[in-house]
Each structure stands twice: as C-alpha cells, then as structure tokens.
A and B are shown apart, each in its own frame.
Chain A
Amino acid sequence: MHAIERVLNTLDGKPVDRVPTFCAMVEDRTFNEVLGKPIISQELLLSNPVSRFVLDKWGPQITRPIFQTELNRALMKRIRTQVELGFDSVWAILDETFTVIDHTTMVRFSGSVFNIQPDGYGNMTYMYREPGIKSRQDFEDWPYWPDADDVAHRTYIFFKKVISDYGQKTCIFGQGPAYGIQESLLWSVGFEKMPVWIRREKDLVKRYIDMNEEICLKTNMALLDTGVPVIIQTDDFAFKSGPIMNPKMIDELFGPPYRRIIKAVHDRGGRYVLHSCGDNTRLFDTFISWGVDGLHAYENTSNVDVINEKKLHGDKVTIIGGVGVDYLLTDRSQDHEVEEEVKRLIAELGPGGRFIIAPVHSLSTIPAHKLRIMVDAVKQYGAYPISLQATSKEALI
C-alpha cells in the first residue's frame, strides 16, 4: 500500500496494511544531520556584526527578498528531511508571517512579537516574546495585517513546488501562513489579557477572529488547489493542566469559524487535522464536533490518557502522536527505549486502526538517528493485524 493511501485511509477510518507514520516537522539540527551541515552556519550568517547592522537598519525592507527567502529554503529542507527519513506523512509549513524589525526581533502579522535567537546547534530559530497588541489603539493601528489574497497566493506558489517535489512520495499535511485562531489571539494580546479582552472588547475579538478565519479559509483553498490532501492547523487550546478556558466558551468563540473552515476543506475533498498541545481531555468531544478527521499531539508530558482516548473516541477521530520529545527522541535516551515505546504504542493504539504514530512535537534537540529508529520500528512491528500484545489494563483487545 502506498504511503498516501495508508495515511488517508487511516484518517478515514478504513483498513490499512500497517500503522502509518507522521513527522511533526523537524528543526534545523535534524536536517543538518540528514542533509549535511551548511559551510557557514546560520548563526554565523545572521549574528555577525555586518548582518546585525543590516538587519537593524533595513530589517523590514529585506524581510521579503532576503530573510523570507532564506526561511523558505530552510522550510523546504525540513520537508525534504522528513521525506528522506521515510515518514508516510509529513508536516509542511509555510511561515510567511514575519517582518524583521532588527537582528533580535520580528513581528508576526497577526499581532505578536518574536525573538530571533540561536538554537544551541549553530542555527537560528524564533521564539514567542510578547504581545504586540496591548490596547484598542494598537489593534486599530497594527501595521502588519496582510492581505488574505496575497497570503493565499504565496501559499499556492510555495506548495505547488512542495507537491511537485514530494507529493507523490509522501502524504503532505499542509499548513499555510495561518496559525490557529485562538492561539493567534492569545499571542497577540497576551494570555494575561486575553480573558479580559474576551469580556470587555467583544467587538475587537470578533473582528480579530473574522480576519484570521478569512486567512485560514483562503490559504486552505490555495493548499487544496495545489493538491495537498490534508490540511493541518496548529491551535494550542490547552496547557499541561487542562483547557486554557472553559470548553463551552471555546466552542462559542472558536467553534463557528472552525466548523466553517473544516466544512470548506471537506467540501473540496480534503481532510483536516488539528494540532493542540496540552491536556485536551475535556476538549476532544468539542474538536470532534467541529468535524476534525485527526488530532495531533497527545503529549506524553501532559495528562492526556491516550489509551483511554482511543477507547472513547477511537472510532470517531484518528489519533496522531504518542512519541515523546522530552526524553525518548533526544540524545539522552537509549536506542532500544525508542523501539520499546514504539512497540508499546502500536500494541495499545494500533488495534482498530485510526492511529498514526508520530512525535508529539518538533524540537531543536531531536536527533535524526532516533527518528530513523522510530520509523524502522513501525515498519517492523506495525503491520496489521497487530501481533504485539497490549499490556496496559485499559488494553482494547
């Protein structure tokens, strides 16, 4: 069975020959290990005095022609790496959301501020710093809102190439420059202020949600037009201790746009996967009611009981994830531990289908070697019918 058929059938709840694999993106360390290190490291390239001067002086002007071109090249390498590692499905993202302000700062068009910083392996990465919208005036004056049609057009150009290069080899889970509606709001106004905004600035919150919905809808259509079969969307609705806010409020605020977005994808023959970190146990029913075909993360470090989730929702949604990046997919683990965990997950979650095994997240610390062990173990032990015996007391068979 071809990888694409294996993945799509699993998302549709149909029989497949073995448990499919999904790569939750790789970061630069991993692709350097697979594709070879660049002669000049990214850190040196962006952190030398000349680059700093140029970024500080002309950051916004050079974002599109230089910075974004380099970032897109790196994103394309990430996709190639995931394919070369042998995953059945891979996370492909176009992150054309930034404007560089100076050598340490860039802003995302939806209202948030990020650090540009080294990843500890000679590469540069970015990390959320603070909200960019702190008042009604900031919201009205925010200068970086994009034209949704332009975002969709750039998405189309990038993914046309992705599909041309890799679309026959692996199942592409595509994400355009549209982050989750809720998490974008959270990043833009800050978590400490988001509950207050929701209560006191209802009109702005509504406008914000509408603008992001438009970007999601248009980029998703562009993705589907290029032949991307699965849309993936990040939107972290939970923290380790549970949902960020009352599930009823989440459904009231974000349910209507997500239902429309997912319906539009389904109407065009696509599948929809939502990535949400944290303990989403009290939200899974909500996500399923929105129409998702698959859910990704099920972080081992959160309190989600993935085996119980399989029992509760395994016939309604495809579980994607399970392999921890906190220890297992790091330099600290032993090779045999990765294999043992893969076997355990296959035994517990494989029976009945609707399970795609995957790292729970991307991380700069993931060695390529551990991902290879994971993929090889799935190929060795993941064939249906599953012969491994589940050992947990919640075992399904």
Chain B
Amino acid sequence: MSESILAVRRAVEELNLDDIYALVAACLEQGFDAEAIFQEGISTGLETVGRKFEEGEYFLADLIMAGEVVKEAMPLLKERMNQGDGKGKGKVILATVSGDIHEIGKNIVGMILSANGFDVIDLGVDVPTRKIIETVKETGARFIGLSALLTTMVDSIRDVVESSRTAGLRDRVKIVIGGACTSEDLCREMGADDYGETAIDALRIFNKYVASA
C-alpha cells in the first residue's frame, strides 16, 4: 500500500478530523484511484476503528468521530467514484419506531453503514409502520433497521414485522433491531431477524446478509 493511502488509513484510525481532507486530496492529486483510496484507506481504517471499539479501546464518541472523519473525506471521493455500478452493498431503511423519538443510536448506525458502502435511507424518528412498509415497496430495500429506546414502544417492532408479512414482503426483507430496551429475547419475541447491541454489531449483521445473498 502506498504511503499516501496509508496516511489516509491512519487518519481514520486516529480520528484525525483536521487532516483527512488534505490527505485524501493529496492522494487524488498523486493520481490514486478514488475506489482504492476508499477501500484501502477509509474502509480499512474503519475496520480498525470498529475493532478498537469492540476491544474497548474506542467508545461511542469515537465511532461518531470516525463517521465525521469519513464524512469530511467523502465529497472528494464520491464525485470520482463510479455511481450505480452495483458495487454498493444495498439499501438499508433505518427508523426509530412509532412513538419513540430517540435517534442517537440510529444515527450512529446510519453513519457507520453509510461509511461502509450501504445506501442508508433514514426515515427519522417516531416513524409510522405504514411509512416503513411503503418505503420498502418504493425503494426495493432488503434491509430494515429499527431502533427503540422506550420499553413502552416495543410493540411497534412487532407491528413492522407483522405488516411486512401482511404486505407479502417478509421473505424479502431482513429486520434488525437495536436500542436500549431491545435484546435477543425481544428480537425473538417480536419475530425480527437479528438484534445488534452496537453499531458495529449492526454493520456485521448487515454485512452477513450481503455476503449470504
């Protein structure tokens, strides 16, 4: 790997928000391919960030910083990367369930998924089940990520699962849940496909679906 791309990777790993833009610009000036910079620099750097988070060296705020670092670099890369060439990992619909307006966890998941090649459709908070189902139909998304913090709102998860079944979409979409009040048990109880405790778990789960598709 070239020194320049390695410097990009290090900047991501070290959450260096101040230098990332210049480092990516330098790579492009030197003629490196945007895809290579993204894959070997950004994406590999993010893998290290994820590992450090799982090992307890990095924290939630560091995941967010990593997302910010990537956001800083992406405008430079995006315009040079091939659009719609099928290399994306697919569309993920993210929503905080109906009745719940907490969005921090959902936003972190969105940031991490976007930075890792997913096309994130963030429907926001307090999202009616109907809107989630309509968005699946409109976009053809195969993945749904539902966030819930409030214990009182967990039934909204069941609503989404049931409605996707009623709409004939259940076999087509994977439904993953996360948030303070969720758990493996709740996932089973509500009939969802997977439970992720952290944003890195969510990434791993959606990557698993992509790999097995």
CB of A115 within 8 A of chain B? yes
The answer to whether A242 and B60 touch (CB under 8 A), given A120-B152, A192-B104, A325-B151, is: yes
- List of A residues within 8 angstroms of B102 by Cβ: 128
- List of B residues within 8 angstroms of A239 by Cβ: 60, 104-105, 180
**1/0 per position for A128-152, CB-CB distance to B under 8 A?**
1100000000000000000000000
- List of B residues within 8 angstroms of A199 by Cβ: 17, 65
The answer to whether A195 and B152 touch (CB under 8 A), given A127-B101, A240-B197, A282-B56, is: no
- List of A residues within 8 angstroms of B68 by Cβ: 195-196
A368→B197 CA distance, assembly (Å) = 31
Q: Output the residue of A127, A195, A244, A246 with the most chain B CB within 10 A.
A: A195
**Contact residues on B (Cβ < 8 Å of other chain), bracket:** 20 to 34
Let me know if B152 and A364 touch, CB within 8 A: yes
A240→B186 CA distance, assembly (Å) = 15
CB of B26 within 8 A of chain A? no
CB of B62 within 8 A of chain A? yes
- List of A residues within 8 angstroms of B108 by Cβ: 192
**How many residues of chain A have a CB within 8 Å of chain B?**
30
Report the minimum CB–CB distance from A254 to chain B (whole Å): 13
CB of A243 within 8 A of chain B? yes
Report the minimum CB–CB distance from A353 to chain B (whole Å): 31
The answer to whether A196 and B65 touch (CB under 8 A), given A239-B60, A242-B59, A246-B59, is: yes
Report the minimum CB–CB distance from B88 to chain A (whole Å): 23
**1/0 per position for B91-107, CB-CB distance to A under 8 A?**
00000000001101101
Question: Can you pick out 18 interface pairs between chain A and chain B where the beta carbons lie within 8 Å of each other?
Answer: A129-B101, A191-B104, A192-B107, A195-B61, A195-B62, A198-B61, A199-B17, A239-B60, A239-B104, A239-B105, A241-B197, A242-B59, A244-B61, A245-B61, A246-B58, A246-B59, A282-B56, A301-B183
Q: Which B positions have Cβ atoms within 8 angstroms of A?
A: 17, 56, 58-62, 64-65, 67-68, 101-102, 104-105, 107-108, 111, 151-152, 180-181, 183, 197-198
Q: Which A positions have Cβ atoms within 8 angstroms of B?
A: 115, 120, 127-129, 191-192, 194-196, 198-200, 239-246, 249, 282, 301, 325-326, 330, 363-365
Closest 5 CB pairs of A and B: A245-B61, A195-B61, A191-B104, A241-B198, A195-B65
